[in-house]
Each structure stands twice: as C-alpha cells, then as structure tokens.
Amino acid sequence: MALLHFLQAAPSAQEPVQAKALLGAFQELLRELEVAQTLVAWQEEALAAGRAEEAALHRQALERLTDFLAEAGELLRGCLLPARQLLQLLDAGCMALTLSLIPPGLDQVLVASLERSRNPELRAAIILGANADVLPRKAAQPPLLNDRERGALAQAGIELAADTPARQMAEHYLAYIACTRSHDKLLITYALNAADGKELAPSPLIQRLQKLFPALLVERYAEPREPGELTGGAESLSALARQLREEREGTPKREFWRDVHHWYAADGRWRDSLARLNQGLCFSPHQGQLAEGNRRALYGDTLRSSVSRLEKFNACPFAYFAAYGLQLAPRPVYEITPRERGDILHQVLAELGSQLYGDGPCQQELTKAQASALVGQVVTGLSPGLLSGILTSTARYRYQAARLQETLANTLLLQQEQLRCGAFAPIAWELSFGSREGDLLPPLTVELTGGRKLEISGQIDRVDVARGPGAAYARVIDYKSGNLALLPADILQGLRLQLLVYLQIVLDNPGFFAADTLKAAGLYYLAVRDELASSPMPKAGEAGSPPGLKLSGLTVKDETAVRLADPQIHGHSQLIPVALGGKGFYANSPGLTTEELQQLLGRLQEILQQTAQRMADGQTDVLPQRTPTFDACAYCDYRAFCGFDGEIKRAGGSGGEQRGA
C-alpha cells in the first residue's frame, strides 16, 4: 500500500519528511481502500431503503474527510515534520471530524424549532402550541410578488424561491416530521385561549390524529381556582404546590386550599407525593464548613490564591468549593469557550503591545487597514498553535477567527487613539506577580491570624505610566469583554478586587517602572467586544461620545494625572470617566478623590484578610451575591447542582434576600 511503502521508505519515524508527500500517500491509501466509493454506495443504499438521515451521515462523512484533507494540505504546505508526528496530526484530525446529525445524548432534552429538530432516535417528543395556523404554520403571501406574478416569471424561465403552495407543503411536512420522530411517546399540547382571552382553535392535526386513533382522548388542563374546578389527582396537587409556595412567600392561603391540603394529607395514596412537595418547599440552601482534615486534603496547607479565586469565593462560597475543592467542571466540548477566546485576545493584544510600544510611547495614527494588517500578522503567527489549531479547523471557526481579528483590530485602534491623545505609555503587558518561577513582581501578601500568610498571585493585562511635573503616575488596565462596571460598593463586597489589587502591586513596586515613587491615576477596563467589530472607528475630539473610546472604571481625581491622560479635557472627558473644567472637577464627576482611593486601598487588606479567613475555615455556604451590577448565579456552572432557586423568596431572610446584602 502507498502509505506503507512511503513509511517504509522514510529514514525513521523521527526523521523529518515532507508533509505533502505523506498526505499524498494517505490519500492514495484512501483511494486503494475505495473509501469514497464505499461511502457513496452506503449513502445510496440508505437512500434506497428510505433512511434519509443515515444517507446524510455518509454524505457528510465523505465531505468532512475531503475538507479535512484539503485543509491539512493547505496548513502543512512546505512543512517538514517527523513521520510519527504527522501521523499523530492526521489521527487527531480524523478523530475530530464531527457530523451534524448527532443523536441526542441519553441525558439530554433538546428544545428546538421544528426546522432544526430532525434528530433520529428520540424517545419522546413534546409538541407545544399545536394551534390552527401555527402547526402547520400558515404560509404568508410573499410581500413583493403574488403567486400569479411568480407563475408568469417562472414561465419566462426566471428561477424564484418557493411559492406559497410549495411553502405550505413544507409546513405540512414539518408537522409530519414532528409527529413521527419519537418511537415511545408523543405529547401534543394546544392552547384554548390567547393571553388576551381570545378563543383559539386547535390545529387540524389534532382532528386528523383523532380520526386515525379513535381511542385518543384530549385531556383538558386549566389551573383550578374554585373548589368546583378541582379534579383531584396530580393536577390538583401541583396547583396546591403553587398555593403553598405563594403562602411561604407571604400571600395568605385561602381556607379552601387548607381543606385541599388536608384532603391530600388524609389520603395514603398521596403521602409520598405530599412529602416530596413539602421537602421541596422547605429546601434551604446548603450551609456548611469543611472539617479541617477535608479542607487540608482539598486545598492543601499553603494559602496561595489568585484574585479571581478570591472574588469567586466572595461571589458564592459553594461555587468556589465546587470549582476548586471538588474540581467539578462542565463537560469539555470541542469549541472555543469564552475563557479560551479571552486567552487568545489577551495573547494577541500583549504581543501587539510589545511590538507597537516596546520602544516607548507611539504617537503614530493608525488606519484601519494598518491595524488589521498588524493583527493579521500576529494571529497568523499564533493561530496554528492556539487551541491545537481549533481556529483553523472548520469553516465556522475560520469565520469566528475572522470576526475575532476584526474585533482585535478595532480594539487596537481604540487603544492607540486613547494613548496617542495623552501622555500615558504602556510599560508592561501580562505582568505576572507571585512567587512562581518567572513571576516578575512579588506576590501581594496578607497577614492572617496564627502567623499564617496568604499569597496572592496574578497577571496584570497592562500598566501605563506617565511622567508629570514632580511625579510619575500609573494606571492599570484590564481587557474585558463582559460587564465593564466598577463600583466601589462591589469592591467593598469583595466581588471586584482585581483592579485594586493590581494597582496596589504596581504602587508597591515603583522601581520596576523606573520610578522612585508612583502615584495612582486610575483603574480601568478596556472594552473588547464583538459589537465593536462593525462600529466605525472613533476619533477623540469628534462630536459626541464615540462608542468604546472611553475607558470604564475609576479615575483618581488628581488634576495633573487627568490632564496627562486627556490634555484636551474640558468638561466630560472622551477618554476616561471624569469631568474637569476650568474651576476644577465637576460636582457630579465620576471618580475617586485621592483620599477615597487611600481608604479603598486601606480596606483592601481587611477584605482580603476576611475572605482568606473564611476560605481557611473551609466555608462552603450556598450564599450567592447579587448587586445592581453583579449576579453570581448569572453564568454559574453549578446551577443545576447547588439547589439554589433564585426565584424563591425565603421567609426569614435567607437565600434570595441575602444576595442583595
């Protein structure tokens, strides 16, 4: 076989060979094995037997394999690599091929529109809202050409999209698909009334099914409100559950529901169901503390942490315990996660930073084309290695990579415009602090009781320094794609400590920035968002407030520092969140006075100590925090596991109320 011959002819598995030659031999092997013919034959066989989905799988397998070989040929063009490594690459590439008609997993419930839910092997299907004109949907008359005009154009040989009868047929076909996908159960529901009370008719499908299966009964469900509407059984029990829940939340229970409760309690058949219901209603979030031995086994003796871990603990000790104690993590999937996307953004922006500003301030005005070219160069240099090449693995990821580059180019333009207009220059990117090998600055150390210490390590995205008359000023910048709000109240609650810790580290180490002392100028987030991708490039000084140009965060109201950041400032700055006029700072100017910043920095040690002490005590309470700008549960991976129901307002002030504390 060609591949065998090739490998036998190769000097050794370790010797470099031309990737192109090995790929050619692999393709020859596929030809010899008649892989393409076999897949086509299987496809035709499945089609002939009416197994359309199986046929689609074979077709996709062939397409994916062909695409993969074409991509591999493109990527590895001119590469010399050891044969063993190339074979591993081919192996990994073939293993990563995915088909889009994957049957649903055993533990999954799929919620999808009919157009997108043709999955085979469903155990049960539930069709919601099968009302007249909804299922099958009534195909609307096309707005531009009516069917007669379309017919005339079609006769003239002009090809048009499907007409109303054809689309109506497609809708009927979708309804047919929906009813025939599951092999165990089919449940169809329809509404009798719209939200405004208007009567609604069921879909003709219901009548049709009743004709086909005369024994089918339509069950009616309506929330019982009066004693006469109660039917008993599970339906009324769930209505009782809602009443009991409302009562726990403060709505007085009507006497009638008390009787219903007694009725269920007296009937032995409902004992278990009622017990489960009461258990659910009385559920209180887990509150706990790890025994010293367990805490040590899970976290070890050395108290080392990153700021984000401390923030996570303050946001919800249970989520912290799940993530770092139990080390529970969502099932990994082959895709770019937000975290990985963030890593790519940081990596590229740091590389761009050292290229552009490595030799000092850069006053050059960048055009969009120049920014795109710079980003393109860096991404091309990094992307084959990033995430094992996921960014180049499929057309979808290549599209995402292109979007990412666009976002990065705009971010670079924003950053350049902010820097060009002021005197601050980036001095460091991805500046690591801690006691790990390679850390450039020492950790932030917090003294704890019993002579113990907590060491905090981390990485600062960017530090800018400006030299003013008599003093040097520093500001810390974090690249962020999510929530950009930074409120002192959130810092005091320990939810957003990152920037303040970074600032403390910078102020503690002026020598690293070639200064005797450093004064604080601000703590900022720089927006890295997808929406920026299509925004026109803003220019400082243009009328209005260009989107994304202004940094978010907290500015220190020191006039010298503010004028270094924005020499043109007159009123509300377009570059940083502050307002400064001829008579000083506006009364309503955002920002912190120097004294307020000192107070915050003073409280920082205290907050870190308290957090570390609770961590050291092994606290694992389900105690999520929520503020106007922060919700611990919003993107939490442990929702299904912690048992916390954010909707339940608990009597006695636990749970939901505590979140706003």
Residues forming the site for ligand SF4 (CB under 6 A): 316, 318-319, 622, 624, 632-633, 636, 638-639, 642, 644
- Helix or strand or coil: residue 401? helix
Q: How far is the CB of 625 from ligand SF4 (least distance, A)?
A: 8
Q: How far is the CB of 251 from ligand SF4 (least distance, A)?
A: 25
Nearer to ligand SF4, 125 or 322 (CB): 322
Tell me how far CA of residue 319 lies from CA of 502, 620, 621, in angstroms: 24, 8, 9
CB 461 within 8 A of CB 478: yes
Beta strands 584-585; 425-433: pairing state: unpaired
Nearer to ligand SF4, 432 or 627 (CB): 627
- Quote the radius of gyration of the chain (alpha carbons, Å): 32
Nearer to ligand SF4, 6 or 321 (CB): 321
Task: Compute how many other C-beta atoms are within 10 angstroms of the C-beta atom of residue 261.
Answer: 18
Place of tokens 């006029």: 581
Nearer to ligand SF4, 521 or 632 (CB): 632
Q: How far is the CB of 648 from ligand SF4 (least distance, A)?
A: 12
Nearer to ligand SF4, 22 or 633 (CB): 633
Q: How far is the CB of 75 from ligand SF4 (least distance, A)?
A: 40
CB 461 within 8 A of CB 574: no
Q: How far is the CB of 61 from ligand SF4 (least distance, A)?
A: 40
Question: What is the distance between the alpha carbons of residues 183 and 201, in angstroms, rounded to a whole number?
Answer: 28
Nearer to ligand SF4, 575 or 642 (CB): 642
Question: At CA 480, angle to CA 599 and CA 547, rounded to 5?
Answer: 100
Question: Tokens standing for 494?
Answer: 């320990």
HEC string for 166-186: HHHHHHHHHHHHHHHCEEEEE
Write out the H or E segment, with its range, that includes residue 30: helix 19-32
Nearer to ligand SF4, 72 or 632 (CB): 632
Nearer to ligand SF4, 18 or 629 (CB): 629
Question: What is the distance between the alpha carbons of residues 564 and 209, in angstroms, rounded to a whole number?
Answer: 76
Tell me how far CA of residue 579 lies from CA of 557, 564, 595, in angstroms: 9, 14, 18
405 forms bridges with which residues in the sheet?
none
Beta strands in 485-551 (DSSP E): 518-527
Q: How far is the CB of 438 from ligand SF4 (least distance, A)?
A: 33
Beta strands 425-433; 453-468: pairing state: antiparallel
Question: What is the distance between the alpha carbons of residues 387 and 449, in angstroms, rounded to a whole number?
Answer: 42
Q: How far is the CB of 650 from ligand SF4 (least distance, A)?
A: 13
Q: How far is the CB of 524 from ligand SF4 (least distance, A)?
A: 27
Q: How far is the CB of 635 from ligand SF4 (least distance, A)?
A: 9
Task: Compute how many other C-beta atoms are within 10 angstroms of the C-beta atom of residue 47.
Answer: 15
Chain-centre distance for alpha carbon 128: 28
Q: How far is the CB of 658 from ligand SF4 (least distance, A)?
A: 10
Question: Tokens standing for 306?
Answer: 């990153």
Question: What is the distance between the alpha carbons of residues 422 and 412, in angstroms, rounded to a whole number?
Answer: 16
Nearer to ligand SF4, 423 or 636 (CB): 636
Write out the H or E segment, with its range, that includes residue 512: none
CB 557 within 8 A of CB 591: yes
Nearer to ligand SF4, 294 or 654 (CB): 654
Q: How far is the CB of 317 from ligand SF4 (least distance, A)?
A: 8
Percent helix / strand / coil, the chain, rounded to 5: 50, 15, 35
CB 490 within 8 A of CB 315: no
Nearer to ligand SF4, 60 or 658 (CB): 658
CB 551 within 8 A of CB 521: no
Q: How far is the CB of 577 from ligand SF4 (least distance, A)?
A: 29
**Angle between helix 395-421 and 338-357 (nearest 10):** 40
Q: How far is the CB of 417 from ligand SF4 (least distance, A)?
A: 38
Nearer to ligand SF4, 91 or 637 (CB): 637
Question: What is the distance between the alpha carbons of residues 253 and 247, in angstroms, rounded to a whole number?
Answer: 6
Question: Tokens standing for 530?
Answer: 């997808």
Q: How far is the CB of 645 from ligand SF4 (least distance, A)?
A: 9
Name, in order, each residue with C-beta under 8 angstroms of 184's C-beta and a sequence gap of 6 or more.
123, 124
Question: Tokens standing for 4?
Answer: 């065998």
Nearer to ligand SF4, 317 or 434 (CB): 317
Q: How far is the CB of 428 from ligand SF4 (least distance, A)?
A: 33
Residue 484, Ramachandran bin (φ over 0: left; ψ between -120 and 50: alpha; else beta):
alpha
Nearer to ligand SF4, 479 or 638 (CB): 638
* DSSP conformation class of 322: I
Nearer to ligand SF4, 188 or 319 (CB): 319
Nearer to ligand SF4, 22 or 316 (CB): 316
Question: Tokens standing for 92?
Answer: 């990994």
510 forms bridges with which residues in the sheet?
none
Which ranges constitute the DSSP H helices of 267-337?
271-281, 292-299, 307-315, 317-320
Q: How far is the CB of 620 from ligand SF4 (least distance, A)?
A: 10
Nearest residue to 130 (alpha-carbon basis) of 183, 200, 75: 200
